[in-house]
Structure 1
Amino acid sequence: MQASLNSSPNASTGTTPHRLMYGIDLRMPWNLLRQAFVGHPASERQDADECAKYAAMIMKKDYDNRHKPIFFSKGDIVYLKLATGTDSGYVLPSRAVTKKMTQRYVKCKVLERIGRLAYKLQFPKELSKCHPVVSI
């Protein structure tokens, strides 16, 4: 970092202009930054690292508990969640106008597994115009 002109010692006086004017050397941002890292015991930093690692471990455990891999076999019967109200998604053409009265799920048969998370389903006649490959 480059020091400002008023914080650099003068060759003729041997002191900084700040010290000559104010009697003290003013604090510079890089001095404050140096003070933030100097003088702290290593144990505090080690404690912070251990706390961060513990928090990451707890977050991973919570994520793994909520996200279980789901696999279906050919011929399984699954429920497809339909869009309610004005939401986008799979909708029945004969659905009711209100969100409260719409059908929420449709039974479908798994025809085949397309990818890691995609399955080809056999839709009922009402959804025959929809694309049959669904991502879970």
Structure 2
Amino acid sequence: MYLRCVTGDRPRAWVDWLAWAEYCYNTSYHAALHTTPFEVLYGRPPPPMLPFEDGTARTEAAGALLRTRDEILAEARQRLLQAQQLAKKYYDAHHREAEFAEGDWVWLRLLHRTTQSLDPRAKRKLGPRYAGPFRVLERIGTLAYRLELPQGSRLHDVFHVGLLKAYRSDPPAAPPTLPPTAEGRLLPSPEKVLKAQKRRDVWHVLVQWTGLPVDDATWRTSTSSASSFRIFSSRTSCLSRRGEML
């Protein structure tokens, strides 16, 4: 970013600026390192660069070169600071201050983690961005919180504050529960068969699962005969007809 700012003023002389821009970057203090990249690499502070004073150079060409060097360094440091301020501006635009107390209820955003780690019934791409709500058990340091996750969840219970959002409605009596699972897979029990179709000599049934809405019904394949489907349909109180159950 700052190299683009430096070369923008003199696009035909960017080769002359490249080495000084690199020097400026490697000798600048980095907040993440608490030092300069030069000192991290070599184990000692960078050598000081003395400013040029008129009359100290033996030739006019050398003096002009040193004056140009000082101008490049000053402008490169200014553009480096400009790039840092611009990056901070865009970061602060999406940054929010959040603080929670023990017992508060919050929504949890999973980001790159799959929602099925908390609820195997969740729809991945079209599902909600936040899961929960969950209760805050304790505060870990200044930026992390431990949540009361449902039994059977496959996630660590400590999350960064940036993944949490306050729950504004009336808090539930208890955290949500998960359906029966085994090795991360959902183990629902069938409630009734909504429909059956025979495709290429293979029976497909649309099964509604216990405790789940009709929209979450799924198609399952089976090698059973049509008579078996009619028997299963009668047990689940479904109307049936040959080749299809309604």
Give the TM-score normalised by structure 1.
Answer: 0.50
Match in the other structure for 2:120: 93
Q: For the Cα contact (< 8 Å) 1:120–1:134, is it kept in 2?
A: yes
1:94-119 alpha-carbon deviations (Å, 9 max, x no partner): 112x51x2222123333322124321
1:63-109 alpha-carbon deviations (Å, 9 max, x no partner): 433155744221444332135xxx5455321112x51x222212333
**Inter-partner Cα distance in structure 2 for 1:58 and 1:78:** 37
Asked whether 1:130 is paired with 2:155, we answer: yes
| Cα pair distance change 1:134/1:94, threshold 3 Å | same
Match in the other structure for 2:14: none
1:41 is paired with a residue of what secondary structure?
A: helix
Match in the other structure for 1:104: 129
Q: For the Cα contact (< 8 Å) 1:93–1:126, is it kept in 2?
A: no
Q: For the Cα contact (< 8 Å) 2:115–2:122, is it kept in 1?
A: no
Asked whether 1:64 is paired with 2:99, we answer: no
1:28-69 alpha-carbon deviations (Å, 9 max, x no partner): xxxxxxxxx957522211121112211221232234331557
| Cα pair distance change 1:38/1:104, threshold 3 Å | same
Match in the other structure for 1:18: none
Aligned pair partner of 2:143 in 117, 124, 134: 117
Structure number with greater CO (CA < 8 Å, separation at least 6) is: 1
| Cα pair distance change 1:110/1:62, threshold 3 Å | farther
| Cα pair distance change 1:78/1:57, threshold 3 Å | farther
Q: For the Cα contact (< 8 Å) 1:80–1:108, is it kept in 2?
A: yes
The percentage of aligned residue pairs carrying the same residue is 27
**Inter-partner Cα distance in structure 2 for 1:95 and 1:113:** 28
Higher strand share: 2
Aligned-residue offset at 1:127: 6.7
Aligned pair partner of 2:71 in 47, 55, 78: 47
Give the TM-score normalised by structure 2.
Answer: 0.31
Q: Which runs of 5+ in 2 are unaligned?
A: 1-60, 163-246
Match in the other structure for 2:192: none
**Inter-partner Cα distance in structure 1 for 2:84 and 2:113:** 32
Q: Which runs of 5+ in 1 are unaligned?
A: 1-36
2:128 is paired with a residue of what secondary structure?
A: coil
| Cα pair distance change 1:80/1:127, threshold 3 Å | farther
Q: For the Cα contact (< 8 Å) 1:73–1:112, is it kept in 2?
A: no
Q: What amino acid is aligned across from residue 133 of structure 1 in structure 2?
A: V
| Cα pair distance change 1:129/1:53, threshold 3 Å | same
Match in the other structure for 2:188: none
**Inter-partner Cα distance in structure 2 for 1:60 and 1:131:** 34
| Cα pair distance change 1:63/1:126, threshold 3 Å | farther
